[in-house]
């Protein structure tokens, strides 16, 4: 890849900047380059020239998520050895963007330069990046004294970007020019500050009312991140890929936290650049992954999801009573109802997952008060499973969008258009009932029964839920099992016939517990067998299926989050070696991504490439990928809450050596978990 085309990102919450490796931003309708906050692009051009020339990158320091430095020189690469001038761009996001621009004269003579910064803001909605729709509002640019104000208005929708320079500048509608003279071995510096405003009904920035507003200095962010990481358990291990992935995950999870305008609570954004907002499914899975490490993140997520739970039938938003949202957006297209994301409810899995997370949180923390407070929401979610979720009245959870013009076709986690297919590549009709949805429903019923018996004082309801779960498990193992293929069907089509593709979804069935014990090992053999397992992880679709594509979004790529749930499921059925194989593959892959597992990577065989091949548009960082190393740690150390006690039963894959997780928080206080690879002797007792 051309190094200039590689992208560099920094973020603080859901405010982020994506640039090329020179630090430049050029207008793009293909990928979200620029400065974004709450789904609006506040800078679409940020381009540096010296004497009319673009610069070339020598090196980049991007070790921290919220700031970076670019070391640059002007001129052609052949002239680098004789460069008499270099440039350092040091930038940080702390609520808004600041960039310190330094030009250094390395010669023994005074030199003159014209420094030019091209600036523009198209105020594109994140949904408009891949769409060439013409903006319906009005843009203005107002030059001022060493400042430029860029404004966009469309009725009550009002956004603004103001750029200030500490050095004197010639300002026009398209940027700033700095004629400068630098003495021998001297330097010239200016600081450019980019302030963004999201105007509310009263003419003030709606973010100014949030609890953390005004405290987002770079020093405050660094202190806050350090405190966040200090609260997490301490990892000691002999495996550098594990140590590096753990460090990077904690840093990324700290950076992905943002404040919701809706309720002013701290939430986890799903992933940069496309998903920097609340997603029901992603937020719940991330919460499950990080729960043993940072349980304080969970109550705000559960509370927010409960507060926005569906309460009516709204075809445009795929909303139904009791349903948990899929996606919440703040941009122009959502505000003018050109998109249904205020919020959008097109997910058939987030509702059952909400119940699962609520119970799992209480099992770890003993926080029965939250379970009682959210009782009505949990009951409504369980009711949705049996009513609106069961579109055909067959006892299964089905999905079909109510809004074909704007709704998602596939409303499971593999939500791309071609993800649900038969083994020969054909696409089934709607509605569809994917297998993992039934597993989640089964698990939610059992967990709902536990909460009803222990916290809601309703044993009759608990008995009913347990009976329904048992019936669902029996029915599922009859209707979804493919005897000739010896695995579970991906889905049922609208006729109730099995959709017979071999996919990673069967690993989620192990996690939910709906798999008959007699079939668990055969399922595991498929998951770690050559058709699904690439050597770097489990593929989303087996390599002999009709739609298999190693770089297809959900039809052959490897998803770290998916693999972490599969490993957890294998562990639950006592298949420790198989779980360890997935843990090893994921951590080995993380080495090639500097510890930061991406959203997905290609499904090529490990023997073919010797390294995991990047997926071209993968989100990075992404919350449930950042949570993956944490869940893999839980699996390897065999951490499982049981009443007032924490069970620790480690199985560390061969070759990984010592793994120690110290100061794990939970209802039992703070405890330590110790393990060693099986090839290095027995685990030490806790």
Residue from 399, 409, 430, 416 nearest 556 by CA: 416
Residue whose structure tokens are 């010797």: 610
Which residues, in sequence order, are CB contacts of 427 under 8 Å at separation 6+?
A: 418, 420, 421
- In 3-state terms, what secondary structure has residue 105? strand
Which residues, in sequence order, are CB contacts of 362 under 8 Å at separation 6+?
A: 368, 370, 371, 451, 455
Mean pLDDT of 576-589: 97
**Model confidence at 80, in pLDDT bands (50, 70, 90)?**
low
Whether residue 402 has pLDDT greater than 90: yes
- In 3-state terms, what secondary structure has residue 589? helix
**Model confidence at 94, in pLDDT bands (50, 70, 90)?**
confident
Mean pLDDT of 1-7: 53
Whether residue 498 has pLDDT greater than 70: yes
Whether residue 76 has pLDDT greater than 70: no
Mean pLDDT of 672-676: 94
Q: What is the Cα gyration radius of the chain? A: 26
**Model confidence at 502, in pLDDT bands (50, 70, 90)?**
very high
Tell the burial category of 492 from Cβ atoms under 10 Å away from its Cβ (0-12, 13-18, 19+): buried
| Pair of tokens at residue 391 | 């579109």
pLDDT of residue 64: 85
Are the beta carbons of 119 and 163 closer than 8 angstroms? yes
Helices (H), 256-323: 280-290, 298-307
Cis amide prior to 621 (ω within 30 degrees):
yes
Residue from 649, 14, 555 nearest 278 by CA: 14
For residue 177, list its beta bridge partners: 116, 170
Whether residue 444 has pLDDT greater than 90: yes
List, for residues 372-392, the tens digit of each pLDDT value.
999 999 999 999 999 999 999
**DSSP state letter for 531:** T
pLDDT of residue 215: 52
- Of the listed ranges 25-34, 79-88, 452-461, 674-683, the least confidently predicted one is 674-683
Whether residue 686 has pLDDT greater than 60: no
d(CA 519, CA 488): 10
| Pair of tokens at residue 663 | 């100061």
Whether residue 599 has pLDDT greater than 80: yes
d(CA 92, CA 64): 10
Mean pLDDT of 87-92: 96
pLDDT of residue 211: 67
| H or E segment to which residue 242 belongs | helix 240-255
**DSSP state letter for 386:** H
**Model confidence at 219, in pLDDT bands (50, 70, 90)?**
confident
List, for residues 58-73, the tens digit of each pLDDT value.
999 988 888 999 999 9
Whether residue 77 has pLDDT greater than 90: no
| Pair of tokens at residue 268 | 């986890």
- In 3-state terms, what secondary structure has residue 394? coil
Whether residue 412 has pLDDT greater than 80: yes
| H or E segment to which residue 234 belongs | strand 234-237
Helices (H), 425-542: 435-454, 459-479, 505-512, 517-527
Are the beta carbons of 315 and 402 closer than 8 angstroms? yes
pLDDT of residue 2: 41
Residue 453 sits at the vertex; the CA angle it makes with 452 and 457, to the nearest 5 degrees, is 75
Residue from 618, 538, 634, 629 nearest 578 by CA: 538
pLDDT of residue 3: 37
pLDDT of residue 343: 96
| Pair of tokens at residue 326 | 């899929």
pLDDT > 90: percent of the chain = 85
Cis amide prior to 639 (ω within 30 degrees):
no
CA 117 distance to own-chain centroid: 33
**Model confidence at 132, in pLDDT bands (50, 70, 90)?**
low
pLDDT of residue 610: 87
Residue whose structure tokens are 């770890």: 364
Give, in order, the Cα–Cα distances in Å from 23 to each of 19, 56, 114, 158, 189.
5, 10, 18, 28, 16
Whether residue 643 has pLDDT greater than 90: no
d(CA 488, CA 600): 24
> Within 10 Å of residue 681's Cβ, how many Cβ atoms?
8
Are the beta carbons of 660 and 233 closer than 8 angstroms? no
Tell me how far apart the 2 most distant CA atoms of the chain are, in Å. Answer: 88
d(CA 119, CA 122): 10
**Model confidence at 353, in pLDDT bands (50, 70, 90)?**
very high
In this structure, is the dihedral angle defined by the CA atoms of residues 329, 330, 332 and 334, taken in order, positive or negative? positive
Mean pLDDT of 248-276: 87
Region for residue 646 given its phi and psi (left: phi exceeds 0; alpha: psi -120 to 50; beta: otherwise): beta
Residue 310 sits at the vertex; the CA angle it makes with 306 and 315, to the nearest 5 degrees, is 155
Are the beta carbons of 448 and 460 closer than 8 angstroms? no
Residue from 686, 498, 638, 653 nearest 580 by CA: 653
Average pLDDT, the chain: 93
d(CA 290, CA 628): 8
Whether residue 685 has pLDDT greater than 50: no
Beta strands 491-492 and 498-499, pairing class: antiparallel
């Amino acid at each position: 890849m051309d190094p200039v085309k590689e992208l560099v990102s920094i973020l603080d919450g859901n405010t982020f900047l994506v640039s090329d490796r020179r630090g430049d931003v050029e207008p793009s309708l293909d990928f979200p380059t620029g400065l974004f906050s709450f789904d609006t692009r506040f800078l679409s051009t940020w381009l540096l020239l010296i004497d009319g020339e673009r610069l070339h990158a020598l090196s980049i320091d991007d070790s921290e998520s919220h700031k970076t430095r670019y070391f640059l020189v002007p001129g052609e690469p052949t002239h680098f050895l004789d460069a008499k001038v270099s440039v350092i761009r040091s930038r940080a996001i702390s609520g808004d963007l600041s960039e310190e621009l330094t030009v250094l004269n390395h010669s023994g003579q005074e030199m003159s330069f014209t420094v030019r910064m091209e600036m523009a803001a198209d105020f594109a909605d994140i949904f408009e990046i891949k769409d060439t729709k013409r903006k319906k509002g009005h843009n203005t640019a107002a030059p001022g004294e060493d400042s430029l104000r860029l404004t966009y208005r469309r009725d009550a929708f009002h956004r603004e970007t103001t750029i200030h320079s500490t050095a004197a500048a010639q300002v026009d509608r398209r940027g700033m020019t700095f004629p400068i003279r630098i003495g021998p071995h001297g330097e010239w510096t200016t600081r450019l500050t980019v302030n963004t405003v999201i105007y509310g009904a009263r003419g003030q920035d709606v973010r100014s009312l949030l609890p953390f507003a005004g405290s987002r200095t770079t020093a405050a962010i660094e202190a806050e991140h350090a405190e966040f990481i200090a609260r997490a358990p301490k990892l000691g291990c002999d495996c550098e890929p594990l140590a590096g992935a753990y460090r990077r995950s904690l840093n990324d999870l700290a950076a992905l936290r943002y404040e919701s305008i809706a309720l002013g609570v701290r939430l986890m954004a799903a992933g940069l650049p496309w998903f920097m907002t609340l997603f029901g499914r992603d937020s719940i899975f991330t919460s499950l992954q990080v729960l043993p490490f940072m349980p304080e993140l969970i109550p705000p997520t559960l509370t927010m999801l409960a507060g926005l739970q569906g309460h009516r039938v709204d075809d445009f938003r795929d909303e139904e009573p009791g349903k948990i949202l899929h996606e919440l957006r703040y941009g122009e297209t959502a505000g003018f109802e050109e998109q249904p994301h205020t919020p959008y409810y097109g997910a058939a899995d987030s509702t059952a997952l909400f119940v699962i997370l609520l119970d799992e949180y209480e099992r770890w923390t003993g926080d029965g008060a939250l379970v009682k407070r959210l009782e009505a929401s949990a009951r409504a979610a369980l009711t949705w499973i049996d009513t609106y979720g069961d579109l055909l009245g067959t006892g299964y959870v089905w999905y079909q969008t109510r809004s074909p013009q704007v709704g998602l076709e596939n409303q499971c986690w593999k939500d791309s258009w071609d993800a649900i297919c038969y083994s020969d590549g054909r696409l089934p009709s709607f509605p569809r009932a994917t297998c993992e949805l039934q597993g989640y429903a089964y698990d939610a019923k059992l967990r709902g029964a536990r909460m009803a018996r222990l916290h809601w004082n309703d044993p009759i309801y608990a008995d009913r839920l347990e009976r329904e779960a048992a019936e669902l498990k029996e029915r599922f193992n009859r209707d979804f099992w493919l005897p000739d293929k010896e695995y579970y069907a991906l889905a049922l089509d609208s006729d109730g016939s099995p959709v017979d593709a071999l996919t990673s979804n069967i690993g989620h069935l192990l996690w939910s517990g709906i798999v008959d014990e007699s079939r668990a090992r055969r399922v595991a053999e498929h998951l770690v067998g050559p058709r699904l397992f690439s050597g770097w992880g489990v593929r989303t679709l087996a390599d002999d299926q009709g739609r298999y594509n190693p770089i297809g979004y959900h039809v052959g790529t490897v998803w770290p989050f998916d693999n972490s749930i599969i490993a957890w499921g294998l562990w639950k059925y006592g298949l420790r070696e198989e779980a360890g194989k997935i843990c090893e593959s994921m951590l080995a892959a993380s080495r090639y991504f500097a510890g930061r597992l991406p959203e997905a990577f290609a499904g090529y065989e490990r023997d073919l490439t010797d390294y995991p091949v990047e997926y071209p548009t993968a989100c990075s960082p992404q919350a449930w990928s950042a949570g993956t190393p944490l869940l893999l740690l839980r699996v390897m150390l065999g951490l499982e809450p049981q009443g007032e006690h924490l069970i620790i039963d480690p199985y560390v894959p061969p070759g990984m050596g010592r793994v120690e997780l110290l100061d794990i928080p939970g209802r039992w206080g703070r405890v330590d978990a110790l393990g060693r690879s099986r090839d290095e002797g027995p685990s030490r007792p806790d």
